[in-house]
């Protein structure tokens, strides 16, 4: 971690495309999954409960004693995520990899129960009114359980659910990539565009002390993005992809939206942050003025070049700028967030992926690697660098491929900016030279699916790292061993279908037969159901995408023209057969695709 500041003048970043990163390659025995953030909660009696998806552990720490009481071992591949505090000293932990919810007694560290809920649970919330739980699933189900694990009700909303919150006694659920809120009554709250920026990727959603909803999310540019801008057209401070200079907003920015519910409808106030990198969690200080944020994407660069030696210097490139404070300031006629220049913990202390405050205002930070908690007791965040460290159990998970994927480049972009959690941001970019291109997901298993990109113009990941990471994003070129490590890590990212087997079996079977009879298998074949060829579609040569997890990745087509899976099915039938399919056929094929 290193210090950060916002300089008022002198913003003259220059991106050097020549440097080569030949740092040694490190690959952990179990390669870590993409960062999910938001894995830390603090109890009213001073316990920190930290889920560790990299090590399949649940850490229970006495904050005052600075002591880990229990390292609760879960099953290999469980990938624990969100934690909800229940009654009688229990915590309920989402197990993303196991499709289950675990209940743990905090005093003893005993796993009391495991309850299957859905293939990919993400969010969990405890309703103290009736001692029940709500679990949000990636596939679109919201599961209501008793605290004992009995299923009370299951409601199917829309795919890509994330966090569960209670607003004025009503249940609402966020959607991850679209950064929307859904109510059980069919209501929807969307975040309005901020000028040319569109909301995506709701990393964390919570209800603040005033009863307002707050969402930590990203804002993505909808303007033309130059792939290779003319140097004469760039402004001082501009980075790669035409933006992201040190004093400029980039094409992806962290933001916080506050939503106030009124009789006339929701009122949304969004604040974007300058100089922001991949930001995955936030915690409001008890006084309400500041947010602490987990920024694991910040680059481990030599910050003395930007801020002067008084701010410190990164001594170990393995670790990144992580915790920051944030406030709102009025600048140039618009509200603009920026990161405070308060001193931060020393750079060797860790890569923070989750943050929380206790009732006294102490800031608790969870470091992914090394596994530890950092505790700041200052009355205001970051008044001191003297964070106290509580080492946590578990072997190292430092991994070169994982680091390259999440580390920010000079343009403040990381691979995870557009591919959060190893997937995609749901955004359709507008590139000056080639037009609209929708971000493609990575968590579908990319091995043996070359060529890459919609135009099939990237032969392999080596080409992507040279052209995209180094050239367009302003990152360093990588040595061959580091490129190989990155490729192995990316190819390992393949999540299973989010289908829970509850679809109409006859409809699915009919859809599979129709998929073949409409000749969809001519292009979508093999284990990946596509991904290895390019085909002429509507006069344009385009890569055939894999259909793995296709239900979770709208909008569809290279230009994002199909907002729903049903629309995409009809679009492809019209494009390839010059006919319109009956709606019953579309519904059946869609039901089949949702199982992939």
pLDDT class of 341 with cuts at 50, 70, 90: very low
Q: Which residues pair with 142 in a beta bridge?
A: 136, 155
Query: How many distinct helices (H) and strands (E) make up the chain?
Result: 8, 35
Q: Are 368 and 397 in contact (CB under 8 A)?
A: yes
Q: What is the pTM of this model?
A: 0.90
123-173 residue pLDDT tens: 999 999 999 999 999 999 999 999 999 999 999 999 999 999 999 999 999
Instruction: Give 459-502 as a 3 state SS string.
Output: CCHHHHHHHHHHHHCCCCEECHHHHHHHHHHHHCCECCCCCCCC
Helix ranges (H only) for 36-165 are: none
Q: Which distant-in-sequence residues (6+ apart) come within 8 Å of 385 by Cβ?
A: 312, 343, 344, 345, 346
283: three-class secondary structure by DSSP: strand
Mean pLDDT of the region 408-421 = 92
Characterise 177 by phi-psi region: left (phi > 0), alpha (psi -120 to 50), beta (else).
alpha
Kindly tell me if the per-residue pLDDT of 519 is higher than 90.
yes
Range picked from 70-79, 246-255, 574-583 for highest mean pLDDT = 70-79
C-alpha to C-alpha distance for 162 and 121, rounded to whole angstroms: 8
Half-sphere exposure of 533 (CA within 13 A, CB side): 11
Range picked from 2-16, 59-73, 573-587 for highest mean pLDDT = 59-73
C-alpha to C-alpha distance for 424 and 88, rounded to whole angstroms: 39
Mean pLDDT of the region 41-55 = 98
Determine what percent of the chain is predicted with pLDDT higher than 70.
Answer: 84
**203, 207, 226, 225: which is closest to 273 by C-alpha?**
203
C-alpha to C-alpha distance for 304 and 313, rounded to whole angstroms: 6
pLDDT class of 4 with cuts at 50, 70, 90: very low
Q: Which residues pair with 145 in a beta bridge?
A: 133, 151
Kindly tell me if the per-residue pLDDT of 3 is higher than 90.
no
What pLDDT does residue 533 have? Answer: 86
The secondary element (H helix, E strand) that includes residue 415 is helix 415-418
Distance of CA 328 to the CA centre of its chain: 23
C-alpha to C-alpha distance for 273 and 337, rounded to whole angstroms: 4
What pLDDT does residue 244 have? Answer: 53
Query: What domains are there in the chain, each with its CATH number?
Result: 31-156 (2.130.10.10), 444-593 (1.10.760)
Q: Which has the higher per-residue pLDDT, 303 or 566?
A: 566
Q: At what angle do helices 505-517 and 583-593 cross, to 10 degrees?
A: 110
Q: Are 354 and 37 in contact (CB under 8 A)?
A: yes
348-365 residue pLDDT tens: 578 899 999 999 989 999
What pLDDT does residue 11 have? Answer: 37
Determine what percent of the chain is predicted with pLDDT higher than 90.
Answer: 69
**169, 204, 174: which is closest to 83 by C-alpha?**
204
Kindly tell me if the per-residue pLDDT of 384 is higher than 60.
no
What pLDDT does residue 444 have? Answer: 94
Kindly tell me if the per-residue pLDDT of 69 is higher than 80.
yes
Characterise 80 by phi-psi region: left (phi > 0), alpha (psi -120 to 50), beta (else).
beta
Q: Are 149 and 101 in contact (CB under 8 A)?
A: yes
C-alpha to C-alpha distance for 448 and 438, rounded to whole angstroms: 21
What pLDDT does residue 500 have? Answer: 82
Q: What is the DSSP string of 524-586?
A: S-TTTTS-S-EEEETTEEEE----TTGGGS-SBSTT--B-SHHHHHHHHHHHHHSSPPPHHHH
C-alpha to C-alpha distance for 532 and 527, rounded to whole angstroms: 11
181-225 residue pLDDT tens: 999 999 999 999 999 999 999 999 999 999 999 999 999 999 999
252-298 residue pLDDT tens: 999 999 999 999 999 999 999 877 889 999 998 887 777 888 999 87
77-130 residue pLDDT tens: 999 999 999 999 999 999 999 999 999 999 999 999 999 999 999 999 999 999
Q: Are 120 and 96 in contact (CB under 8 A)?
A: yes
Tokens of residue 441, six digits: 């997901």
Kindly tell me if the per-residue pLDDT of 311 is higher than 60.
no
pLDDT class of 474 with cuts at 50, 70, 90: confident
What pLDDT does residue 260 have? Answer: 96
What pLDDT does residue 410 have? Answer: 81
What pLDDT does residue 469 have? Answer: 92
User: What's the whole-number average pLDDT of the chain?
Assistant: 86
User: CA geometry: angle at 79 spanning 74 and 84, to 5°?
Assistant: 80
Q: What count of other Cβ atoms lies within 10 Å of the Cβ of residue 384? A: 14
Kindly tell me if the per-residue pLDDT of 230 is higher than 70.
no
What pLDDT does residue 409 have? Answer: 87
C-alpha to C-alpha distance for 416 and 186, rounded to whole angstroms: 31
What pLDDT does residue 286 have? Answer: 84
């Amino acid at each position: 971690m290193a210090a950060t500041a916002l300089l008022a003048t002198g913003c003259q970043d220059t991106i050097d495309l020549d440097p080569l990163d030949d740092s040694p390659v490190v690959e952990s025995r179990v390669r870590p999954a993409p960062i999910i953030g938001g894995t830390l909660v603090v109890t009213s009696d001073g316990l920190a409960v930290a889920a560790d998806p990299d090590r399949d552990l649940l850490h229970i720490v006495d904050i005052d004693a600075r002591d880990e009481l229990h390292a609760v071992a879960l099953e290999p591949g469980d990938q624990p995520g969100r934690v909800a505090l229940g009654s009688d000293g229990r915590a309920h932990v989402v197990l993303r990899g196991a499709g289950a919810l675990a209940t743990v007694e905090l005093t003893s560290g005993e796993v009391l129960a495991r309850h299957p809920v859905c293939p990919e649970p993400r969010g969990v919330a405890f309703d103290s009114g009736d001692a029940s739980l709500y679990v949000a699933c990636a596939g679109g189900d919201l599961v209501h359980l008793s605290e004992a694990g009995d299923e009370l009700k299951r409601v199917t909303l829309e795919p890509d659910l994330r966090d569960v919150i209670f607003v004025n006694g009503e249940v609402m659920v966020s959607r991850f990539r679209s950064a929307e809120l859904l109510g059980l009554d069919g209501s929807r709250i969307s975040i309005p565009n901020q000028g040319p920026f569109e909301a995506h990727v709701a990393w964390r959603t919570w209800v603040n002390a005033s009863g307002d909803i707050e969402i930590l999310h990203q804002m993505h540019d909808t303007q033309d993005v130059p792939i290779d801008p003319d140097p004469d057209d760039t402004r001082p401070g501009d980075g790669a992809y035409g933006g992201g200079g040190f004093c400029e907003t980039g094409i992806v920015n962290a933001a916080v939206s506050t939503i106030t519910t009124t009789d006339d409808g929701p009122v949304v106030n969004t604040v974007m942050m300058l100089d922001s990198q991949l930001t995955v969690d936030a915690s409001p200080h008890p006084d309400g003025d500041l947010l602490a944020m987990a920024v694991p994407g910040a680059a481990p660069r030599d910050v003395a070049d930007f801020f002067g030696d008084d701010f410190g210097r990164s001594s170990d490139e393995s670790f990144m700028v992580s915790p920051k404070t944030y406030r709102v300031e009025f600048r140039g006629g618009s509200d603009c967030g920026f990161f405070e220049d308060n001193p931060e913990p020393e750079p060797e202390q860790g890569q923070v992926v989750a943050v929380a405050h206790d009732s006294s205002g102490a800031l608790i930070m969870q470091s992914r690697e090394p596994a530890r908690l950092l505790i700041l007791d200052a009355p205001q965040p970051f008044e001191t660098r003297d964070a106290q460290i509580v080492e946590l159990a578990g072997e190292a998970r430092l991994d070169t491929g994982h680091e390259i994927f999440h580390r920010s480049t000079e343009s403040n972009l990381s691979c995870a900016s557009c591919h959060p959690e190893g997937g995609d941001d749901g955004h359709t970019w507008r590139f000056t030279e080639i037009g609209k291109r929708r971000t493609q997901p990575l968590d579908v298993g990319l091995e043996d699916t070359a060529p890459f990109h919609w135009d099939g113009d990237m032969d392999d990941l080596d080409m992507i790292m040279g052209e995209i990471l180094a050239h367009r994003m302003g990152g360093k070129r990588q040595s061959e061993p580091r490129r190989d490590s990155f490729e192995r890590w990316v190819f390992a990212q393949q999540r299973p279908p989010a289908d829970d087997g509850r679809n109409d079996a006859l409809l699915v079977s009919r859809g599979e037969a129709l998929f073949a009879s409409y000749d969809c298998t001519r292009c979508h074949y093999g284990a990946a159901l596509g991904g290895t060829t390019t085909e002429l579609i509507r006069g344009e040569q385009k890569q055939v995408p894999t259909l793995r997890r296709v239900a979770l990745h709208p909008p569809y087509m290279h230009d994002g023209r199909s907002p729903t899976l049903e629309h995409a099915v009809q679009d492809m039938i019209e494009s390839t057969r010059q006919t319109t399919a009956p709606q019953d056929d579309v519904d059946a094929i869609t039901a089949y695709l949702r199982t992939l």
